[in-house]
Chain A
């Protein structure tokens, strides 16, 4: 949703008008700095400082302390430098988790972007009624709360009475009769991918679709007059025009992979046998289940570092596009 909101912010704001406001705001001619803006933003800044910056710093500090259950109770933790990071980076289980996180991310993002591109292209070609129908269905799926969707997927894939096993068995795949999806690592992983993709496609598809609708119609017409085929039109007109938004949505989906924490925690808690443990799940397991707050915080900081990398790319995309407009 974020790309959308950020862009919305700039709708209708022209630099000219801004400058005018500025002047009229100072029409009194006095140069004394106006305290009002700072009073107005103070609560937002204080909130961010205490509820976002401080926890982040606190996590950084804990990740460099010896902080276990004992220190949680007594309250004094010893500074140990980078020892926790060292312990994590030499742990093969941690590297398994990192690898799994990237696999999970790659599969999700590729599926989400491929499917939503197809859905967006399809929606653009539909008639008015069908288009409204598809958009409504997408909005409804998008609106489904994470917890409700996760619960429903558990029911859909229920081993005994689940409708998926019934359908697969009915299609002649006898091996799916009472197949216990969540007991098998790969199957549980697949269900979580399916769930995340199902929940993420609507936003991506709707955003890409509205990007498509802004491509001027005469461009297509000109290309058609010049004898370009359907594929060449997509390749040389649609793709370049939609590319910036496509990149924005892709980086958002990469960042949002980590939000799958909720679905994973509710459905499998990272199991069976670590098969669905990605970084944020690992961090919470370490900290709140094994009371190794230091190692959990270190894993969290590594996650934040990874996300920041993508975030820099995302902001560069966003501001580059803003400069173009």
Chain B
């Protein structure tokens, strides 16, 4: 590469650097604030690089009232919703990808439409339905809603993964004496494992982040709250302690960040290239 070529590319790399900075700065600022001592946070001249490190804020966040409980609630609701969605979606995806039946197209269309459901506009009827059925302030209603939010997506993606596994494999297993179920369990399931993994992680993130329903359906019983709602009310919990607030945000964001980085290959190539190649 000669020099003039490099010089010509300079604006491009400058733009790339700006993009990376803008994307990362809020994440970086959250984490660095969480590690700074309070006197470095409440100052007129913020330090871009923390000079002194401390774990105090994390201690405050973890020891805050109910933190362990809300963490447990979040995990409980999220994991059960994802498992339920996985189980139900596996059956539906198998029926769609491998069997032919009347109403199949209509079912696929229903799933596509359900995937775009305007959940922000269903808060009011959900509130009234849960109130009428005595589900208000209880975690199972959140589990059910999160199950429904993640279900369509899970069906669609699992169907895609199933379609890449040749049916011949199953057929030969059946020729060798396996039952339908046995062929599925011994042959298809192991091949499907990465798909199940990726889908459940995306489902996990969706349910983990959900705020609106957790906020409006859990009102009186504070012990049934989940982490997003807790985080949104940090000002009541921590007052103006931004160090602790940022530590709590970091703890909340960490699982999602970790999962996305693990799945980065899927996110940037697998999922997205499927988007255009069809």
A163–B43 CA distance with the chains assembled, in angstroms: 10
| Inter-chain contact B124/A297, CB cutoff 8 Å | yes
| Inter-chain contact A25/B100, CB cutoff 8 Å | yes
Q: Shortest CB–CB separation between residue B47 and chain A, in angstroms?
A: 10
A283–B126 CA distance with the chains assembled, in angstroms: 13
- Count of A-B contacts with CB under 8 A? 340
A296–B57 CA distance with the chains assembled, in angstroms: 40
Residues 5-58 of B at the A interface (beta carbon under 8 Å): 12-13, 15-16, 19-20, 22-24, 26-27, 29-30, 33, 41-46
| Inter-chain contact B115/A2, CB cutoff 8 Å | yes
Q: A126-B12, A315-B112 are in contact. Are A283 and B246 (CB under 8 A)?
A: no
User: A205-221 toward B: CB 8 Å interface, digit per residue (1/0)?
Assistant: 01101110110000000
Q: A210-B273, A287-B124 are in contact. Are A145 and B253 (CB under 8 A)?
A: yes
Q: Interface with B: A81-89, A103-111, A149-157, A184-192, which one?
A: A149-157
| Inter-chain contact A311/B91, CB cutoff 8 Å | no
Q: What B residues does A3 contact at CB under 8 A?
A: 275
Q: Shortest CB–CB separation between residue A9 and chain B, in angstroms?
A: 4
Residues 55-102 of A at the B interface (beta carbon under 8 Å): 55-56, 58-59, 62, 72, 75
Q: Shortest CB–CB separation between residue A47 and chain B, in angstroms?
A: 6
Q: What B residues does A318 contact at CB under 8 A?
A: 112
| Inter-chain contact A11/B274, CB cutoff 8 Å | yes
Report if A28 contacts B (CB, 8 A). Answer: no
A210–B264 CA distance with the chains assembled, in angstroms: 14
Q: A62-B128, A141-B24, A210-B268 are in contact. Are A152 and B121 (CB under 8 A)?
A: no
Name the residue on B nearest A163 (C-beta).
B46
| Inter-chain contact B242/A158, CB cutoff 8 Å | yes
| Inter-chain contact A147/B252, CB cutoff 8 Å | yes
CB-contact partner of A55 in B102, B120, B125, B274, under 8 A: B125
Name the residue on A nearest B110 (C-beta).
A48
| Inter-chain contact A137/B24, CB cutoff 8 Å | yes
Interface size on A (CB < 8 Å)?
115
Interface size on B (CB < 8 Å)?
110
Q: What A residues does B257 contact at CB under 8 A?
A: 140, 143-144
User: B246-278 toward A: CB 8 Å interface, digit per residue (1/0)?
Assistant: 100110110011011100100111111111111
Q: What A residues does B115 contact at CB under 8 A?
A: 2, 5-6
Q: What A residues does B228 contact at CB under 8 A?
A: 145-147
Name the residue on B nearest A215 (C-beta).
B276
Q: What B residues does A143 contact at CB under 8 A?
A: 205, 253, 256-257, 259-261
CB-contact partner of A300 in B124, B148, B278, under 8 A: B124
Q: What A residues does B197 contact at CB under 8 A?
A: none
Residues 154-189 of A at the B interface (beta carbon under 8 Å): 155-156, 158, 160-161, 163, 166
